[in-house]
Chains A and B, each alone.
Chain A
Amino acid sequence: MPKTTLGELEELVLLAILRVGDDAYGVPIIDELGERADRRVAPAAVYVTLRRLEDAGLIRSQLEEPARGKPRRFVELTEGGIELLKVSRRTRMRMWDGLEPMLGES
């Protein structure tokens, strides 16, 4: 059965991968979550999430030798992953629609 919804950490990790771009491997993803999302996530939790996302076909990973330094396992979103992010965003937008004034953030 294909995956249809995302947990919060899964969504944040997918977004972090997109933001980091070509250099996305474990450490920059953890940094991005810390800096932008203000979330101090245990490294192990991030890797378990990455594994789970890969098992579900939402990301793919590849061992690459960067210009400098040691080989890293870089990750990127699959089309399925991008699609699920869009679904998630649309769902949220629909839920948010018209609610801003109630929170005083119009």
Chain B
Amino acid sequence: MSRPRPPRLFESLLRACLPPAWREDMARDLEELFGRKAARGQVRAVLWYVGQVLSFGWRFAWYRIRSRTATDGLHPGRARIGLGEALREARLAARSLLRAPAFTLPAVAVLGLGLGASATLFTVVDGVLLEPLPLPDSHELVALCEEHVRLEGICIGSIATTRDLVRESRSLTAGGVGRGWRFSLEDWIGREGLRSGIADPGLFNAVGLSPLLGRLFADDEIGPDGDDVVLLSHDLWVRRYGSDPSVVGRTVRLDGDPVVIVGVLPADFVVPTLEWIEAWRPLHVDPSSTEAREWRGFLALARLTPEVELPAARAELGTLYRGLAVRFDAIDDGWRLGMRPLLDQVVGEARPAIMSLFSAVLLLLLIGCFNVANLVLARAARRRKELSIRSALGAGRGGILAVLALESVLLAVAAATLATALTFGGVRLFRTLAPTGLPRLDGVGVNGSVLVFIGVVALATVLVFGLWPALGSRHRHSGEAMTRLRSVGESRRGVAVRRGLVVAELALSTVLLFGGALLVRTLNGYASWDPGFDRDGLYVVSALASLGEHPDREELMRFWAEVEEELRALPGIVAVSTASSVPLRGGREGTSYRPEGGEDLDEAALPSARWYDVGPGHFATLGVPVLDGREVSELDGPSSPSVVVVNETFARRTWPGGRAVGRWLEIPLDAGGVRRMEVVGVVGDVRPVTPGQPSEPEIYWSNRQLGRWGTLFLVRAAAGTADVGARVRETIEGIDPTISLGTMLSMDQLLEEPLAGPRFNAVLAGVFAALAALLAVIGLYAVLSYSIAKEGRTIGLRMAMGASPPRVLRTVLGEATSLTLVGVVIGAVGALASTRLLRSLVHGVSATDPVTLGGTILLILLVSLAAAAIPARRATRVDPSRLLREE
């Protein structure tokens, strides 16, 4: 096997930094050390090597400056002028940079912006995607997912199956299930609707943390007779009980049932994705019942046996699951067992969006670096006279390199400073804008490694591109290297390089601008979103009836109707209705159904739809139009035929071309059997937030026929009505004080959450697009104007031969146009190929949209013509003899 070698580029840089006498020896030694590091990881070794190049660079530069002023053999000029000399050199370099703001400002801005954007996204990637979960040995935690062929991507679990798997598997040491479940808490302080959950004891064993006080659930504390205990989260214990340890052992009521507080969980206890739960009660279902196997509404979490690899565990559990499917009817052919690291489950949908943005931003950084390289190259060519003079005065190649290096370092420091500020600002902005649903946002913060990343990339970019022109020269001796740059502009190779740079810059800019333009069009889609109903004056409050006070379902339904009546009588209230969900919020409960005309369909082939229950007048209250038939009404009671309303999409998909009203559909019941319902109305679709995404089919049945203990009250108030929340609360509590009420929110507040995610993506996308456009324009201008400036001599010659300025201008622009066209064509192909990167961010517009592409190309053409015209015009105005003399 060949020995690992350090990257060539950095090896050349290293050699350039070293004194000639020892150059080869040191490079070989460092290669030997690199070989050792590489045995422990290639990436680390390369990073280490880059660090060494920087270390050698500055140490030997410093050594050289000091030894020039040597006063004794060993400690050259330490006390005398060492520092002063260095400062003087730095000042000179700084002055030289400040004298050329047309170079320095774009270079610092481009690099700073590119770096700041990528460091911000790197921080997010690190905090959200890479940082392990804050639980002991969190890499062993997995989510067990029962996945159904018809419920793509949904990971759910049931208590009975999870228990069987954990008991029979050798790959799992513990596991259990949990989910949110609202309870109304009543204690010596008062009544409160809790953000609570239910779980089985195995869940806590799997998480692997000891209680702060008291104990966790015992193994037999589960099922209808074992759920008279409760565990408090640290937050609830502090907030409600003032951290009083004596609450452990006391009895409180949950939904009227007396339960004992058996323990308090530690502050760092979290069940990922269920972090918000403040109190846990054991699952009230008998884990050996059929219901416990069919009820798959849980997060199932398990801990792998140490040393067991995920694929092996997956294989074993897959086999066990198929065994369970044979034994239990509740697991039909459509079910599969999936298993994924818990971190993946937690990060879930956020990953593709973050990763595509990260790739886009890396592209941005790449182009930023490319722009800086172009700027540096242009500057080096412009300075060749200055450098030749230095060389003529006796400055060696090393000395000239040192000057260039010092300038590069200053440039890097400025860019890194800008980038650091941008990163802190960017991360703060990200946290402010990020949707509440984004997982692990608390873990996102700028840390040391991000700052090192900024420093290393800034320095490496500037050093590599700053010194490359000099290093790339074949003339390795004396100042000749720099003076030879003189010929770059004239030689055939030089022209080819320059044209290549222009074409590459144009192509990259096309890719970048096209991506940016697609994102801006997506942003427009969000801005013009209209849900299809009237949000003004609409308020929502959740209400939970206590099972103890309202044990009978029919009585409960009458009770809800009575509350609705009372609320309608309030002054200023225009309309009131009830529903189990509101548009775009929840309604996540899905069911399969058999439509009329689908009698022959196989059980497994039945379509599914989301549903929620609604009360009379619900759509009128919302302002959603009834397109055909009617809404559910008070007349649709428990004893009258079951009715259902569907949305437009449902009607169109289920009975294409026909009328939906009057037809029937059947849904399976939890208790077995089916319920046949007649469609009495079709209502308009509520448009999804994401532009271009189709509406989902939805079913709404009457909560007067299938009522539940929890409901939402929707209240529409006339404009200017005061204290809606307080009056609604007083009214409901006046009728039944045992009702737990949530906080009343306006519809706008409620829609904030589903809107926040897309809006956040859109804002990020907008920022990206703006940066992309800025970088592309700066880069194009820099490259083209440099290129045209190089043509100065040719222009001078032509004019000396008698060409008129307009004619010269036309020729130059003609050349620029042909170069631009080549670049744009290559770029367009690249743009169409690279849209995959942005796909999860682009909505409502095709990722290969021809109008956007055409606009992008037009813009690039305009910018490049402008970038070519300005320096060309300037050149035609200058006296030709002067131009020729300069050359």
Cα distance A58–B67 in the bound complex, in angstroms: 16
Say yes or no: A44 contacts B32, CB within 8 Å.
Answer: no
Say yes or no: A42 contacts B55, CB within 8 Å.
Answer: yes
For A48, give its contact among B52, B63, B70 (CB under 8 Å): B63
For A56, give its contact among B29, B30, B52, B74 (CB under 8 Å): B74
Q: Give the dominant DSSP class at B's interface.
A: helix
Cα distance A1–B74 in the bound complex, in angstroms: 10
Say yes or no: A48 contacts B74, CB within 8 Å.
Answer: no
Say yes or no: B56 contacts A47, CB within 8 Å.
Answer: yes
| B56 proximity list for chain A (CB < 8 A) | 43-44, 47
Segment of B18-26, B94-102, B191-199, B297-305 engaged in the interface with chain A: B18-26
Cα distance A42–B51 in the bound complex, in angstroms: 10
| B75 proximity list for chain A (CB < 8 A) | 7
CB distance from B76 to the nearest CB of A (A): 8
| A6 proximity list for chain B (CB < 8 A) | 74
Cα distance A67–B372 in the bound complex, in angstroms: 47
Cα distance A27–B30 in the bound complex, in angstroms: 8
Cα distance A27–B35 in the bound complex, in angstroms: 12
CB distance from A35 to the nearest CB of B (A): 14
Cα distance A19–B60 in the bound complex, in angstroms: 26
Known: A30-B33, A43-B29. A48 touches B73 (CB 8 A): no
Say yes or no: B26 contacts A3, CB within 8 Å.
Answer: no
Q: Is A94 an interface position by the 8 A CB rule? A: no
Say yes or no: A57 contacts B73, CB within 8 Å.
Answer: yes
Say yes or no: A48 contacts B59, CB within 8 Å.
Answer: yes
**CB nearest to B32 among chain A residues:** A27
Cα distance A47–B28 in the bound complex, in angstroms: 13
Say yes or no: B28 contacts A72, CB within 8 Å.
Answer: yes
Say yes or no: A52 contacts B72, CB within 8 Å.
Answer: no
Say yes or no: A25 contacts B25, CB within 8 Å.
Answer: yes
**CB nearest to B14 among chain A residues:** A44
Cα distance A83–B237 in the bound complex, in angstroms: 74
**CB nearest to A69 among chain B residues:** B32
Q: B29-55 interface mask toward A, CB cutoff 8 Å, 1 = contact, 0 = none? A: 110110000000000000000001001
**CB nearest to B67 among chain A residues:** A55
**CB nearest to A63 among chain B residues:** B25
**CB nearest to A45 among chain B residues:** B59
CB distance from A93 to the nearest CB of B (A): 22
Cα distance A35–B557 in the bound complex, in angstroms: 81
| B55 proximity list for chain A (CB < 8 A) | 42-45
Say yes or no: B25 contacts A56, CB within 8 Å.
Answer: no
Say yes or no: B74 contacts A44, CB within 8 Å.
Answer: no
| B30 proximity list for chain A (CB < 8 A) | 43
Cα distance A72–B28 in the bound complex, in angstroms: 8
Q: Which of A1, A7, A44, A72 has the most CB of B within 10 A?
A: A44
Cα distance A57–B32 in the bound complex, in angstroms: 27
Say yes or no: A27 contacts B72, CB within 8 Å.
Answer: no
Cα distance A6–B74 in the bound complex, in angstroms: 9
Q: A12-56 interface mask toward B, CB cutoff 8 Å, 1 = contact, 0 = none? A: 000000000000011100100000000000111101100111011
Q: A51-81 interface mask toward B, CB cutoff 8 Å, 1 = contact, 0 = none? A: 1110111100101000000111100000000
Cα distance A52–B32 in the bound complex, in angstroms: 23
Q: Is A101 an interface position by the 8 A CB rule? A: no
Number of cross-chain contacts by CB at 8 Å: 67
CB distance from A100 to the nearest CB of B (A): 31
Say yes or no: B73 contacts A51, CB within 8 Å.
Answer: no
Say yes or no: A70 contacts B33, CB within 8 Å.
Answer: no
Say yes or no: A3 contacts B59, CB within 8 Å.
Answer: no
| A10 proximity list for chain B (CB < 8 A) | 74
Say yes or no: A47 contacts B32, CB within 8 Å.
Answer: no
Q: Is A2 an interface position by the 8 A CB rule? A: yes
| B73 proximity list for chain A (CB < 8 A) | 1-3, 55-57
Interface residues of B in 665-690 (CB under 8 A from A): none
**CB nearest to A57 among chain B residues:** B73
Cα distance A25–B63 in the bound complex, in angstroms: 20
Cα distance A95–B647 in the bound complex, in angstroms: 95
Cα distance A27–B78 in the bound complex, in angstroms: 28
Say yes or no: B67 contacts A44, CB within 8 Å.
Answer: no
Q: Which of A3, A43, A72 has the most CB of B within 10 A?
A: A43
Say yes or no: B72 contacts A3, CB within 8 Å.
Answer: yes
For A51, give its contact among B19, B28, B32, B71 (CB under 8 Å): B19
Cα distance A61–B29 in the bound complex, in angstroms: 15
Say yes or no: B52 contacts A47, CB within 8 Å.
Answer: no
Say yes or no: A26 contacts B52, CB within 8 Å.
Answer: no
Known: A1-B72, A44-B52. A51 touches B33 (CB 8 A): no
Q: Which of A6, A56, A58 has the most CB of B within 10 A?
A: A56
Cα distance A61–B72 in the bound complex, in angstroms: 20
Cα distance A85–B63 in the bound complex, in angstroms: 23
CB distance from A25 to the nearest CB of B (A): 7
Say yes or no: B22 contacts A52, CB within 8 Å.
Answer: no
Say yes or no: A43 contacts B25, CB within 8 Å.
Answer: no
| B33 proximity list for chain A (CB < 8 A) | 27, 30, 43
Cα distance A2–B25 in the bound complex, in angstroms: 28
CB distance from B696 to the nearest CB of A (A): 61
Cα distance A45–B55 in the bound complex, in angstroms: 8
Say yes or no: A47 contacts B26, CB within 8 Å.
Answer: yes
Say yes or no: B74 contacts A26, CB within 8 Å.
Answer: no
Cα distance A10–B73 in the bound complex, in angstroms: 13
Known: A1-B73, A48-B59. A43 touches B28 (CB 8 A): no
**CB nearest to A6 among chain B residues:** B74
Say yes or no: A26 contacts B25, CB within 8 Å.
Answer: yes
CB distance from A6 to the nearest CB of B (A): 8
**CB nearest to B63 among chain A residues:** A48
Say yes or no: A44 contacts B25, CB within 8 Å.
Answer: no
Cα distance A71–B19 in the bound complex, in angstroms: 18
| B26 proximity list for chain A (CB < 8 A) | 26, 47
CB distance from A76 to the nearest CB of B (A): 15
CB distance from B17 to the nearest CB of A (A): 9
Say yes or no: A70 contacts B28, CB within 8 Å.
Answer: yes
Say yes or no: B25 contacts A52, CB within 8 Å.
Answer: no
Q: Which of A1, A25, A47, A53 has the most CB of B within 10 A?
A: A47
**CB nearest to A58 among chain B residues:** B74
For A52, give its contact among B28, B29, B52, B74 (CB under 8 Å): B74
CB distance from A2 to the nearest CB of B (A): 6
| A47 proximity list for chain B (CB < 8 A) | 22, 26, 29, 56
CB distance from B620 to the nearest CB of A (A): 76
Cα distance A56–B75 in the bound complex, in angstroms: 9
| A25 proximity list for chain B (CB < 8 A) | 25, 29
Cα distance A64–B161 in the bound complex, in angstroms: 72
Say yes or no: A73 contacts B60, CB within 8 Å.
Answer: no
Cα distance A48–B70 in the bound complex, in angstroms: 15
Say yes or no: B29 contacts A27, CB within 8 Å.
Answer: yes
Cα distance A51–B33 in the bound complex, in angstroms: 19
| B74 proximity list for chain A (CB < 8 A) | 3, 6-7, 10, 52-53, 55-56, 58
Say yes or no: A73 contacts B59, CB within 8 Å.
Answer: no
| A58 proximity list for chain B (CB < 8 A) | 74
| B29 proximity list for chain A (CB < 8 A) | 25-27, 43, 47, 72
Say yes or no: A44 contacts B60, CB within 8 Å.
Answer: yes
Say yes or no: A73 contacts B72, CB within 8 Å.
Answer: no
Cα distance A61–B840 in the bound complex, in angstroms: 62
CB distance from A72 to the nearest CB of B (A): 7
**Residues of chain A having any CB pair with chain B under 8 Å:** 1-3, 6-7, 10, 25-27, 30, 42-45, 47-48, 51-53, 55-58, 61, 63, 70-73
8 closest pairs, A vs B, by CB?
A56-B73, A73-B25, A26-B29, A56-B74, A44-B55, A3-B74, A44-B56, A44-B59
Return 23 A-B CB contacts under 8 Å, by A number.
A1-B73, A6-B74, A7-B75, A10-B74, A26-B25, A26-B26, A27-B29, A42-B52, A42-B59, A43-B33, A43-B56, A44-B55, A44-B59, A45-B59, A47-B29, A48-B60, A52-B74, A55-B74, A56-B73, A56-B74, A57-B73, A58-B74, A73-B22
Given pairs A30-B33, A42-B59, A43-B30, 16 additional interface contacts (CB within 8 A): A1-B72, A3-B73, A27-B29, A43-B29, A43-B55, A43-B56, A44-B55, A47-B22, A48-B59, A51-B63, A52-B63, A53-B74, A55-B74, A56-B74, A63-B25, A71-B28
